Amino acid sequence: MNDQRLRLDLTALADEVTSVDLRDRTLRTSRRLGIQRAVATSAAALVLIAAAAGTAFAIRPDQSPTPLPADTPSVTATPTPTPTPTPSTSAGDTPGAPPSGGTGTNTPSVQFGKLFYGPASVTDAKMVNLRSWRPGDSPVRLLALPEPAALGNASISPDGRRVAWVDRDDSGESTLVVADADGSDRQEMRSHVAGDCAPVWSPDGRHLLFVEAATATGEPVRRGVLDTRSGKRTVTWWPGQARGCHALWSADGRSIAEAVYIGVTLYATDGTKKRTVPGFSIRGLRSHDIASLSSDGSRIALLLRKPNEDSGDIARELWANAVLDTRSGKQVALPLGGRTLRQVYFQSDDSMVVRVQSGSGYAVLLVDKDGRKVSETAEPASLKDEQILAVVD
């Protein structure tokens, strides 16, 4: 354990977590993505020369809402309409039959949302398409993004109509961009944004929580809440320096979870601290990779790192191996049927879309808020090499 990690662990025990050195980890991320892209390209060339020598490389796989400061409207969850049909269905994208013993139907009270997908690993592609899929339908091809954005920071709005991402130009400048899911109505929102920290939509689809980067170094500096509908692109800044990179916004609009090196802290929407998820430092656990937050902020799906396990770098990881109660820190049991948990997404009614390894592919389970499996559906084979980015009701 190095000195910096020891200082962070000791500080977390005193409930005064020190700011994470995001710059070093950001640089490591950039180097990692660059190296993996080069490795992937080289591997492709080797396959052409000697197929037997090819190797695949991949990235692991009841109180009123707290208002924002006076210069920015308060943010609360509002019902979202069903997304408008998106562009044409990809050839060969057909949903699989339910696995043996499962069912592809839902009860009237608990329904599957629409799942949005992006690449799960670095390839040699310059641009890649996002896709959406709802069980019973075929996957639909959406807008194309630069691969680093599709993999590392693309964010789907709560109604499924818009996509936000951080785009980097050749000079290294990073810009926060928003467009419709089909690629139309592209708007550049703000420059000098930390590209390794994904923007996060508010429940009403109006605001974006993002991390500002220093102009000269690209180092993450502070968090801001951007009003995407205001003519002046109004930003309300959180107090202090950015302490973590990845964040989630609860569907009730009251809580924002932020992952730091040691664990997870919940904040109000104005950046004031609410509580820290207990148990991380005491048990030697760590996580800076969070995937989904329940509607009231009481549970969180994340990639939990064990003692002596490599904690990775700042790059976004949407894989999840645990669901925790944010007040007790205890793990929530899921009906996996002995299979490996890969991803979890909470819907607005606190039911969960749970992705499990199923043979050579994946199955998605619909689990109600009490932890009972409602249905199970095999994913189309064409989505095997992709990860879920979001689930929209």
Q: Which pLDDT does position 362 carry in this prediction?
A: 96
Higher pLDDT, 370 or 55: 370
| CATH assignment, 3-61+81-392 | 2.120.10.30
Evaluate whether 79 touches 358 at the Cβ level (below 8 Å): no
- Name the percent of the chain lying above pLDDT 90: 55
Averaged pLDDT, 300-312: 79
- For residues 194 and 354, give the distance between their C-alpha atoms in angstroms, rounded to a whole number: 30
Backbone angles phi, psi at 234, to 5 degrees: -60, 135
Chain-centroid distance of CA 141 in Å reads: 20
State whether the Cα torsion 327-74-236-66 is positive or negative: negative
Averaged pLDDT, 208-215: 91
Residues 6+ apart with CB under 8 A from 340: 356, 357
Q: Which pLDDT does position 140 carry in this prediction?
A: 97
Averaged pLDDT, 189-217: 92
Other CB atoms closer than 10 Å to residue 128's CB: what's the count?
19
pLDDT bin (cut points 50, 70, 90) of residue 209 is: very high
Mean of the per-residue pLDDT values of the chain = 78
Asked whether residue 57 carries a pLDDT value surpassing 50, the answer given is: no
pLDDT bin (cut points 50, 70, 90) of residue 17 is: very low
Evaluate whether 209 touches 164 at the Cβ level (below 8 Å): no
Higher pLDDT, 18 or 386: 386
Evaluate whether 240 touches 222 at the Cβ level (below 8 Å): yes
Q: Which pLDDT does position 70 carry in this prediction?
A: 35
Chain position carrying tokens 């490591």: 28
Averaged pLDDT, 328-353: 96
Q: Which pLDDT does position 320 carry in this prediction?
A: 95
pLDDT bin (cut points 50, 70, 90) of residue 43 is: very low
Averaged pLDDT, 279-307: 84
pLDDT digits (tens, 9 = 90+) for 88-110: 344 344 333 333 334 455 655 67
356: helix, coil or strand? strand
Q: Which pLDDT does position 94 carry in this prediction?
A: 38
Amino acid at 384: K
pLDDT bin (cut points 50, 70, 90) of residue 284 is: low
- Name the percent of the chain lying above pLDDT 70: 68
142: closest CA among 105, 171, 180? 180
- According to DSSP, residue 11 is labeled H
Averaged pLDDT, 28-55: 39
Please state which of the ranges 38-42, 193-197, 367-371 shows the lowest mean pLDDT. 38-42
Asked whether residue 76 carries a pLDDT value surpassing 70, the answer given is: no
- For residues 255 and 238, give the distance between their C-alpha atoms in angstroms, rounded to a whole number: 14
CA-angle at 147, arms to 137 and 387, nearest 5°: 40
Higher pLDDT, 160 or 5: 160
User: What is each CA distance from 130 to 21, 85, 220, 248, 330, in whole angstroms?
Assistant: 31, 15, 27, 20, 34
Asked whether residue 117 carries a pLDDT value surpassing 60, the answer given is: yes
Asked whether residue 54 carries a pLDDT value surpassing 90, the answer given is: no
Residues 6+ apart with CB under 8 A from 202: 75, 158, 208, 209, 225, 249, 253, 269
State whether the Cα torsion 350-248-377-180 is positive or negative: positive
pLDDT bin (cut points 50, 70, 90) of residue 244 is: confident
Higher pLDDT, 236 or 104: 236
Averaged pLDDT, 31-39: 41
Q: Which pLDDT does position 283 carry in this prediction?
A: 64
Q: Which pLDDT does position 144 carry in this prediction?
A: 98
- For residues 54 and 45, give the distance between their C-alpha atoms in angstroms, rounded to a whole number: 9
pLDDT bin (cut points 50, 70, 90) of residue 194 is: very high
Asked whether residue 378 carries a pLDDT value surpassing 80, the answer given is: yes
Averaged pLDDT, 362-367: 97
